[in-house]
């Protein structure tokens, strides 16, 4: 099987092209414009080159953008630059840019970097302080990649594109179904952003116990207990398939102050904030940089609070968040002080009963989505091992 260094078949972080003129119009792509689920640039904005040429990363049409900073890299922020204005783009300094040479396609490099195993290797190679770790250029330069002829690269990329499209369609169907609990919420309780509301307003911290997970960085082990971070809170579920593991000692220590139980709500405090997840089974993991919202055993509030946060408080959450480096974060006290309308327990129980029936169907959709993700990663692995016939 023919392998090459990625640094030999692509130009990594190429210098600005002489064709880029300061008076030209170009596309501007900050990190948040790259969708970590679909692996595409989902939007860009038009600007003059002179307004972004200093302090941002230049790239051209068909270059591959690969996030270098945590947690963007681990979350899968990677895309091919397409449909750029005048074929020119500038973006975050936290992008590595890879430009395919003549015997390689952009798609082949892109799918290589979409592999979970490559992201795991990149994570282990990161340098820097906690919260600001980055993938060094050397990692990409020295990475080995299977390199078949161009015709075979195109054939295999076509297979991978179909599997990726199936994965996206499964995810889209799941996202469409998310609208149902929100419509029930709106019908029963009205829009909580409309004041005055018919319900009393209290801080979230008065309605439930709000705490957080560890902010430390325990050592990872090969086998142990999963450590859930923001990247593992996906589409309303805790997704452990690419979680890192910690020792039993670290697990016990973290759980002394932030043990997660069935019925709790988890919400990222850093990165993709405002994405609350209801824990639907007895967990065996610890949490890091995640808000933990707990209820007394007899409380019917969990689904009501989740939908309240998920559907109507995103603007409030983001208005209270701050930006550290390239990441947003929100303080625990701001979460505790969310002003929430609180219906009666009877009304909340009725809402829970309706949504619980729907959740069973939603879990089936999630399983189908997970299977499509697994198929995609399996095909990626086979393609880059030369085993995809």
Q: Please, what's the b/e burial string for 297-325 (b: 16 or more CB within 10 A of its CB; e: otherwise)?
A: eebbbbbbbbbbbbbbbeebbeebbeeee
Contact status, residue 287 vs residue 215, Cβ threshold 8 Å: no
Q: How far apart are CA 57 and CA 50, in angstroms?
A: 13
Strand order in the sheet with 88-91: 45-48, 25-29, 88-91, 57-60
Q: Which residues pair with 79 in a beta bridge?
A: 65
- Ranges of CATH 3.90.220.20 domains, the chain: 3-147, 177-343
Which residue, among 352, 307, 277, 303, has the nearest Cα to 191 in the 3D structure?
307
Q: How far apart are CA 367 and CA 248, in angstroms?
A: 29
Q: In CATH terms, is domain 177-343 a member of 3.90.1150.10?
A: no
Q: How far apart are CA 373 and CA 87, in angstroms?
A: 31
The torsion of the CA quartet 355, 359, 365, 366, rounded to 10 degrees, works out to: 120
| Angle, helix 106-113 to helix 150-177, in steps of 10 degrees | 50
What string of DSSP letters covers 60-87? ETTPEEEE-BTTHHHHT-EEE--S-GGG
Where does 220-289 show beta strands of DSSP type E? 220-221, 225-228, 233-234, 237-238, 244-246, 265-268, 277-278, 286-287
Residue pLDDT tens, the chain, 389 long: 689 999 999 999 999 998 899 999 999 999 999 998 888 999 889 999 999 999 999 999 999 999 999 889 998 999 999 999 999 999 999 999 999 999 999 999 999 999 999 999 999 999 988 668 999 999 999 999 999 999 999 999 999 999 999 998 887 777 777 778 888 888 898 887 775 678 888 999 998 999 988 877 788 898 899 999 888 887 778 888 778 899 999 999 888 888 999 889 998 887 767 678 888 888 899 998 888 998 876 677 888 888 888 877 666 666 665 655 556 778 888 888 888 888 998 999 899 888 887 877 777 777 888 888 999 999 999 999 988 86
CATH: 3.40.190.10, 3.90.220.20, 3.40.50.1220, 3.30.160.340. Which one for 3-147? 3.90.220.20
What is the model's pTM? Answer: 0.64
Q: How far apart are CA 109 and CA 96, in angstroms?
A: 13
């Amino acid at each position: 099987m023919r392998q090459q260094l990625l640094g030999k078949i692509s130009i990594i972080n190429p210098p600005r092209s002489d064709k880029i003129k300061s008076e030209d119009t170009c596309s501007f792509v900050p990190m948040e414009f790259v969708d970590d689920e679909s692996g595409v640039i989902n939007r860009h904005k038009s600007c003059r080159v002179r307004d972004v040429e200093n302090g941002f990363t230049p790239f051209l049409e068909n270059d591959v953008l690969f996030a270098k900073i945590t947690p963007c890299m681990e979350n899968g922020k990677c895309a091919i630059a397409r449909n750029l204005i005048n074929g020119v783009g500038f973006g975050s300094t936290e992008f590595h840019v890879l430009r395919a040479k003549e015997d390689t396609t952009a798609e082949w490099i892109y799918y290589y970097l979409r592999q979970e195993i490559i992201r795991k290797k990149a994570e282990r190679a990161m340098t820097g302080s906690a919260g600001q770790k980055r993938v060094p250029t050397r990692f990409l330069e020295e990475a080995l990649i299977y390199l078949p002829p161009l015709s075979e690269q195109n054939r295999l990329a076509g297979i991978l594109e179909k599997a990726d499209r199936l994965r996206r369609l499964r995810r889209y169907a799941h996202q469409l179904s998310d609208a149902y609990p929100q419509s029930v919420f709106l019908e029963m309780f009205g829009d909580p952003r409309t004041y005055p509301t018919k319900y009393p307003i209290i801080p979230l911290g008065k309605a439930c116990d709000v705490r957080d997970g560890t902010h430390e960085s325990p050592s990872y082990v090969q086998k142990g207990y999963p450590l859930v971070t923001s990247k593992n809170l996906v589409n309303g579920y805790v997704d452990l398939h690419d979680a890192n593991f910690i020792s039993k000692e670290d697990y016990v220590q973290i759980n002394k102050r932030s043990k997660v139980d069935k019925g709790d709500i988890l919400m990222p405090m850093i990165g993709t904030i405002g994405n609350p997840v209801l824990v639907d089974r007895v967990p065996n993991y610890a949490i890091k940089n995640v808000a933990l919202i707990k209820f007394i055993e007899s409380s019917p509030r969990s689904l009501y609070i989740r939908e309240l946060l998920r559907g109507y408080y995103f603007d409030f959450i983001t208005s209270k968040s701050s930006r550290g480096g390239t990441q947003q974060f929100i303080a625990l006290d701001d979460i505790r002080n969310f002003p929430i309308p609180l219906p009666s327990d009877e009304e909340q129980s009725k809402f829970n009963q309706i949504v619980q029936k729907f959740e069973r169907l939603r879990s089936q959709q999630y399983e189908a989505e997970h299977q499509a993700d697994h198929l995609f990663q399996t095909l990626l692995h086979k393609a880059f091992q030369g085993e995809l016939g």
